[in-house]
């Protein structure tokens, strides 16, 4: 197969096998299938050399039908690959976006988020396309994202602003979020109204299936309430009233098949319309969209929330998390709230 010649913006030539770019935009950029010369006027030589290194490695990885062990080695390789200075991260993000190299773009945006948190990021939001800002933002926990937005580094869409406002109204720092995400846990909030207007009663749960976050907190001498804004805690109900805020959060953590106790559940967590439909909503840490769930059954004292974006790790089905409005533990019929 004839070599493809790539010319960088600073006129350096690279001679490569064109097959390594099969998952990129480059084949579409060639005038004909036999074209063997392509100028990339927006990518300098240092960046282009790294892009080629990325494409060569991943092309070989695909050809070798790699197994789980190789996948672990691949992650180590990628972690080492992206250990570069801030300017090169910025250029790699731009190049990956331009050449439509999705995996490199994702890695670059994760590294950009790290650079932002460490204070090393230099670009302002005016030089970043909105979709790139969104990708970087999705890799930042709420408090760090709020600081980046206030510093003019990133913008937030209206949906992101609401998501951020809710989480940062409850938590004062990102330590808990970092720990949860490191454990593969995606905390959620359940509420009657998640728009942030007026009084809000929310149920918080990490859905910590294996108890990893719980034990990690214990090892560090912490509990969830250490990371909340100043609050009044009801030791009986484990409800936290955030001082100076209309928000009350039930932070009881359900484990296995236990239920969270919520007093006056229907009044506090369920909204009814004139047609008899009953609504509730949930918001996950990693997804800025509020999910509205509905059912049209009569109240029975227990609700079951199906979280579409949080699959049960054992079954792959949407997670079902139960709320209970009294202290009874005997079996009762359950009202299912599902995404409409």
Question: Two tokens at 252?
Answer: 């009881």
* Contacts (Cβ under 8 Å, ≥6 apart) of 183: 208, 212, 213, 216
Per the rule left: phi > 0, alpha: psi between -120 and 50, beta: everything else, 292 is beta
Instruction: Of 74, 48, 47, 50, give the one whose Cα is nearest residue 60.
Output: 74
* pLDDT score, position 332: 47
* pLDDT score, position 331: 45
Helix (H), strand (E) at residue 190: strand 188-191
CA distance 43 to 24: 15
| Pairing between β-strand 302-311 and β-strand 335-339 as defined by DSSP bridges | parallel
Question: Two tokens at 212?
Answer: 């990893």
pLDDT tens digits, the chain, 340 residues: what are they?
Answer: 589 999 999 999 999 999 999 889 998 998 776 778 999 999 999 999 999 999 999 998 887 765 655 777 888 999 999 999 999 999 999 999 999 999 999 999 999 999 999 988 876 665 789 999 999 999 999 999 999 999 989 999 899 999 999 999 999 999 999 998 888 888 899 998 888 677 899 989 887 777 788 888 889 999 899 999 999 999 888 899 999 999 999 987 655 556 677 888 888 888 888 887 888 898 999 889 998 888 878 787 778 888 877 777 667 787 777 776 655 444 445 566 766 5
* pLDDT score, position 133: 92
CB 113 within 8 A of CB 82: no
Give the number of other Cβ atoms within 10 Å of residue 119's Cβ: 9
Calculated CA dihedral for residues 93, 107, 134, 310, nearest 10 degrees: 170
CB 28 within 8 A of CB 38: no
Partner residues linked to 232 by β-bridges: 241
* pLDDT score, position 111: 96
Instruction: Of 321, 195, 169, give the one whose Cα is nearest residue 249.
Output: 169
Question: CA 314 from chain center: how many Å?
Answer: 21
Partner residues linked to 171 by β-bridges: 228
Helix (H, G, I), strand (E, B) or coil at 11: coil
* pLDDT score, position 106: 96
For residue 114, report the phi and psi dihedrals to the nearest 5 degrees.
-60, -45
For residue 335, report the phi and psi dihedrals to the nearest 5 degrees.
-90, 120
* pLDDT score, position 325: 65
* Contacts (Cβ under 8 Å, ≥6 apart) of 129: 97
* pLDDT score, position 329: 46
Helix (H, G, I), strand (E, B) or coil at 196: coil
Per the rule left: phi > 0, alpha: psi between -120 and 50, beta: everything else, 66 is beta
DSSP output for 278-339: EEEEEEETT--PPEEEEE-SPP-SEEEEEEEEEE-TTT-SEEEEEEESSS--S----EEEEE
Calculated CA dihedral for residues 65, 68, 70, 76, nearest 10 degrees: 140
């Amino acid at each position: 197969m004839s070599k493809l010649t790539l010319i960088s913006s600073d006129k350096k030539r690279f001679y490569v096998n064109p097959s390594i770019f099969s998952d990129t935009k480059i084949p579409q950029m060639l005038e004909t299938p036999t074209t063997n010369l392509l100028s990339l006027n927006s990518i300098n030589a240092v960046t282009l050399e790294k892009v080629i290194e990325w494409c060569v490695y991943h092309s070989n990885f695909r050809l070798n039908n790699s197994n789980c062990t190789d996948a672990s080695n691949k992650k180590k390789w990628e972690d080492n690959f992206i250990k570069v200075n801030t300017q090169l991260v910025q250029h790699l993000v731009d190049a990956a976006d331009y050449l439509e190299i999705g995996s490199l773009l994702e890695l670059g945006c994760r590294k950009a988020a790290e650079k932002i948190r460490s204070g090393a990021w230099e670009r302002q939001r005016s030089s970043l396309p909105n979709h790139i800002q969104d990708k970087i933002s999705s890799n930042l926990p709420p408090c760090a994202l709020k600081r980046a937005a206030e510093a003019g580094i990133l913008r937030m869409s209206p949906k992101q602003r609401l998501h951020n406002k809710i989480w940062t109204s409850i938590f004062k720092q990102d330590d808990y979020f970092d720990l949860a995400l490191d454990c593969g846990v995606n905390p959620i909030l359940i509420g009657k109204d998640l728009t942030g207007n007026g009084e809000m009663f929310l149920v918080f749960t990490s859905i910590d299936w294996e108890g990893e976050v719980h034990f990690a907190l214990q090892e560090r001498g912490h509990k969830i309430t250490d990371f909340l804004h100043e609050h009044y805690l009801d030791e009986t109900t484990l409800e936290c009233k955030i001082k100076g805020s209309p928000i009350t959060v039930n932070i009881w953590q359900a484990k296995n098949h236990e239920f969270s106790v919520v007093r006056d559940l229907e009044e506090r967590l369920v909204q009814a319309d004139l047609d008899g439909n009953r609504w509730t909503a949930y918001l996950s840490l990693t997804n800025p969209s509020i999910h509205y769930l509905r059912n049209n059954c009569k109240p029975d004292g227990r609700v079951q929330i199906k979280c579409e974006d949080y699959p049960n790790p054992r079954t792959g089905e949407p997670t079902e998390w139960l709320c209970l409005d009294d202290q009874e533990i005997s079996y009762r019929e359950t009202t299912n709230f599902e995404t409409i």
